[in-house]
Amino acid sequence: MEKNQKDMFVMAMQQLKIVAEKINLDSGIYNILRQPERELTVAVPVKMDDGKIKVFTGFRVQHCSARGPCKGGIRYDLGVNLSEVKALAAWMTWKCALVNIPYGGAKGGVICDPFQLSEGELERLTRRYAAGIMPIIGERKDIPAPDVNTNAKIMGWIMDTVSMIEGRTTLGIVTGKPIELGGSLGRREATGRGVMISTLNLLKKLGLDPRQTTAAVQGFGNVGSVAAELLSLNGPKVVAVSDISGAYYNPNGLDITGMLNYVQTSKNHLLAGYQEAGMQIISKDDLLLLDVAVLVPAALENQITGENAALIRAKFIIEGANGPTSPEADLILEDRGIIAVPDILANAGGVIVSYFEWVQGLQSFFWDLDRINKELKNILTRSFDEVWTLAQEKKVSMRTAAYMIAVSKVADAIGRRGVFP
């Protein structure tokens, strides 16, 4: 089994179990949280460019709506499976609760290789998938957003599809839209910006000077590329980044702006073929083991595992990706004194600005970038402080502290609402 094909929902529920014991979670509420509220599998027939019909499989899962409408991204990847979507939906529930955004957790995905589809095929797939999940999504029910291999253009197609079927413009149906279609300033950069803010918050707590630190970033997509750029602009020297094409290492610090310019026009927006003086190409696995202060996994889940955790040399892990560290790895890292800022905190910037976008869309009243970035920083820093304080107080990891806060908030909401009927 490939390392990222582990049963992700089992892993997510392992994490919940640990926390349930720590906070003495009511067994009834624990049982409610152990399964998603709703799981939908849809067949997505698409007329391909050669005239033939191909049927793809898509999913939408809503884990828990106790605190508000569900919210979560849509992923296009061959590795998408129901267990992964369920896990990602549960992580969204905890993330929204932790940062106190009034949403529940959802996630969606389509099993496909978007790089093998023409633009027309991608659009038809998106529109049919959107129509397929329409019975359960909605401006006040479940609001999708971009995730791996999906972007603003795809969100625009979803908004248009729902709008055409409903006969009105539904600005609040999806976030991460193009700015011109009701998207929010700062949304594209929000997750990477949040990773940078979390890194600086941690270094500040530890009394470390960001300019004296080095960083390695796994993944150079939406999250990784922005995180690498903003880190390099705010102190830490980014010495390594990777994408699916390989890992690129320059002990003197990479020219992240040069790399960003390169991927604008490269094939599939990959770093393959990128060159700069002093740079070496290393293996993607080795990037995770570099002797740096800060490691940012910002690609896929289950990258730091029981197999490589003992070899990690970074002192701090800031989780840009969802679920990049397995529970086995967590124990090893904790034992070794490596601090991990968990995904539900470190990458929450995306859902926070998605929330701003949703609010702006529902009101058709748009904010300036300064306000967005300020409010994002405030929310993330307040949440960081809450997690840090509880972790110190209870002598637990930041992940356990974050989960304790998040699961308690969700449990409280379920308790207050009661069980229908």
How would you classify the pairing of strands 316-318 and 339-341?
parallel
Q: How far apart are CA 16 and CA 26, in angstroms?
A: 13
Q: How far is the CB of 243 from ligand NAD (least distance, A)?
A: 3
Amino acid letter, residue 245: S
Cα(357)–Cα(212) distance, rounded to whole angstroms?
36
Question: What tokens appear for 76 in the block?
Answer: 């296009």
**Is the separation of the CB atoms in 300 and 277 below 8 Å?**
no
Task: Tell the smallest beta-carbon distance from residue 379 to ligand NAD (Å).
Answer: 15
Residue type, 173: I
CB-based contacts of 220, cutoff 8 Å, min separation 6:
228, 241, 242, 243, 259, 263, 271
Structure tokens at 275: 């060159």
Q: In this structure, what token pair is assigned to residue 120?
A: 């027309």
57 vs 286: CA distance, rounded Å:
34
Positions touching ligand NAD (CB under 6 A) are 146-149, 191, 218-224, 242-244, 284, 298-301, 320-322, 347, 350
Cα distances (angstroms) measured from residue 139 to each of 92, 162, 362? 17, 10, 8
Cα-based distances in Å from 386 to 381, 382, 383: 9, 6, 5
Least distance from C-beta 164 to ligand NAD, angstroms?
Answer: 26
Q: Residue 160 CB: number of other CB atoms within 10 A?
A: 20
What would the DSSP string read from start to end of 113-152? -GGGS-HHHHHHHHHHHHHHHTTT-BTTTEEEEE-TT--H
Beta-carbon contacts of residue 287 (< 8 Å; ≥ 6 apart): 216, 218, 240, 241, 242, 247, 249
17 a catalytic residue: no
Closest CA to 139 of 159, 167, 112, 125: 159
Which CB sits closer to ligand NAD, 232 or 347?
347
**Least distance to ligand NAD from the beta carbon of 25, Å?**
25
List beta partners, residue 44: 56
Task: Give whichever of 252 and 268 is closer to ligand NAD, judged by the CB atom.
Answer: 268
Active-site choice (86, 107, 177, 409): 107
Cβ 303 vs Cβ 224: under 8 Å: no
Q: How far is the CB of 354 from ligand NAD (least distance, A)?
A: 8
Q: Which residue is closest to ligand NAD by CB?
A: 221
Minimum distance from residue 343 beta carbon to ligand NAD (Å)? 7
Give the rounded distance of the alpha carbon of 306 from its chain centre.
22
Residues catalogued as catalytic? 107
